[in-house]
Amino acid sequence: MNVVITCEFRFFRTPDGKVWTSSAFQYQFWQRYLQSFDTVKVVARVKEVSSSEAAWVLSSGPLVTFVPLPYYIGVVGLLKHSLTIRSLLQNVCNEDDAIIFRVPSQSVMLATLGPNTIANYAIEVVGDPYQVFNAGVTHSLLDKFMAKVSRWALRSLADSAAAACYVTNTYLQRLYPVDDMSGAISVGCSDIELYPDDFVDKPRSFNSPATNLVFVGSLSQLYKGPDTLLKALKELKSKNIYFTLNMLGGGVYLPEIQEMASALGLSDSVNFVGEVSQQEVKSYLDQADIFVMPSRTEGLPRALIEAMARGLPCLASNVGGIPELVQASCLFDAEDYMTFADKLGRLSQDTNALNAASARNLAVAHQYENDKLQQKRQDFYHRYKMTLLEKA
């Protein structure tokens, strides 16, 4: 049995036909599906490029092919290519035996609204589109409209799904439940992959205040709250509490955030690293004392769990599934830079709290070891396949 998988991330294809990614969706990621299905066909935005960049890794490979969607950016681009996207998705999703929609996805929303011939699909719910648009995508009234439409569309999609796998334990399940009365399958399982070498051997031992921070996140949008982080650092600087910060990630908002850092007098203490490889991310995590994630929206963030696996104390906003990972004393409301600054200042000066947070976070991260999660995923895919065979 073959499977079609939709993905909202953007990819790149070189003239030799290879498809590359700057995200976590490298070739190894698709192996989880190949353990249950014969081939994987990924439907996603693909941009034609002349050559690959150093930070990119292969996403295509044996038994993994791509069906390219138009390489649109933003809501305007989505609407411009809406008919093409809908047609492509409906055609490819009626060719193969199994269909898995990774949602939220505006492309999937276009393909399934109104007259729809796609049936017996599964969904993997990785975030809340309502929260995403409320965090600001177009910075206009269109945000509020898209938030409501996307929430309604995903609820409808979940209600008609044959099976659903959520990256959270309870948060996304409450928002986008499947129809239990129809016998739909519902499980909670993070889609992160952590291997033994992703974990440190023991918690960190702090004997002096923490001074080095690390932030990991795309700057293609402001979902990750980099502006909130800079405001918090400015507040702390006014109280003579100083940090150095490595900001990992690139995107169209990078120049704006760099200008903001300069305007706030933080240029000397903030290092804009840009996009780096997964191995380089691990190196920056190991150099840091505290991981910060002031996101406006999240599902169950991979970067946060990866930081916890390196034994890092973490401060994060209480959005999405983050409260399932981080203790209440290290949470703050999204965009509340004053509380963020207060908690960061207190944690950084308290070596006992830093040591306790390191030990706790490492223990929590071990719950997300790949061997433990892989069995749950394979059970989910097997049950979904059995559902399709029964309906055949």
Query: Considering the chain, what percentage of its residues have pLDDT values greater than 90?
Result: 79
Provide the domain limits for residue 229. Answer: 196-367
Would the pLDDT of 139 be above 70? no
Would the pLDDT of 142 be above 90? no
Mean of per-residue pLDDT scores for the chain = 93
Same domain, 239 and 279: yes
Of the spans 53-67, 84-98, 128-142, which averages the highest pLDDT? 53-67
pLDDT at 136: 60
Which band of pLDDT confidence, cut at 50, 70 and 90, is reported for residue 364? Answer: very high
pLDDT at 220: 84
Rounded CA gap, 332 and 341, in Å? 10
Same domain, 309 and 345: yes
Rounded CA gap, 175 and 156, in Å? 11
pTM of structure: 0.85
Would the pLDDT of 95 be above 90? no
Same domain, 205 and 164: no
Would the pLDDT of 115 be above 80? no
Rounded CA gap, 143 and 211, in Å? 37
Same domain, 361 and 377: no
Same domain, 213 and 234: yes
User: If DSSP states are collapsed to H, E and C, what string results for the chain?
Assistant: CCEEEEEEEEEEECCCCCEEECCCCCHHHHHHHHCCCCCEEEEEEEEECCCCCCCCEECCECCEEEEEECCCCHHHHHHHCHHHHHHHHHHHCCCCCEEEEEECCHHHHHHHCCCCCCCCCEEEECCCHHHHHHCCCCCCHHHHHHHHHHHHHHHHHHHCCCEEEECCCCHHHHHCCCCHHHCCEEEECCCCCECHHHCCCCCCCCCCCCCEEEEECCCCCCCCCHHHHHHHHHHHHCCCCCCEEEEECCCCCHHHHHHHHHHCCCCCCEEEEECCCHHHHHHHHHHCCEEEECCCCCCCCHHHHHHHHCCCCEEEECCCCHHHCCCHHHEECCCCHHHHHHHHHHHHHCHHHHHHHHHHHHHHHHHHEHHHHHHHHHHHHHHHHHHHHHHC
Which band of pLDDT confidence, cut at 50, 70 and 90, is reported for residue 200? Answer: very high
CATH of the domain at 159: 3.40.50.2000
Same domain, 237 and 158: no
Residues belonging to the chain: 392
Would the pLDDT of 138 be above 60? no
> Tens digits of per-residue pLDDT, 330-351?
999 999 999 999 999 999 999 9
More confident residue, 39 or 111: 39
Same domain, 183 and 264: no
Query: For residue 244, what are the β-bridge partners?
Result: 212
Same domain, 65 and 202: no
Same domain, 142 and 175: yes
Q: What is the mean pLDDT of residues 200-227?
A: 95
Per the structure, how many domains does the chain have?
A: 2
Rounded CA gap, 285 and 210, in Å? 13
Would the pLDDT of 181 be above 80? yes
Same domain, 15 and 117: yes
Same domain, 219 and 359: yes
Which band of pLDDT confidence, cut at 50, 70 and 90, is reported for residue 299? Answer: confident
Would the pLDDT of 247 be above 60? yes
Same domain, 99 and 205: no
Helix axes 337-349, 226-237, angle to 10 degrees: 60
pLDDT at 77: 87
Would the pLDDT of 48 be above 80? yes
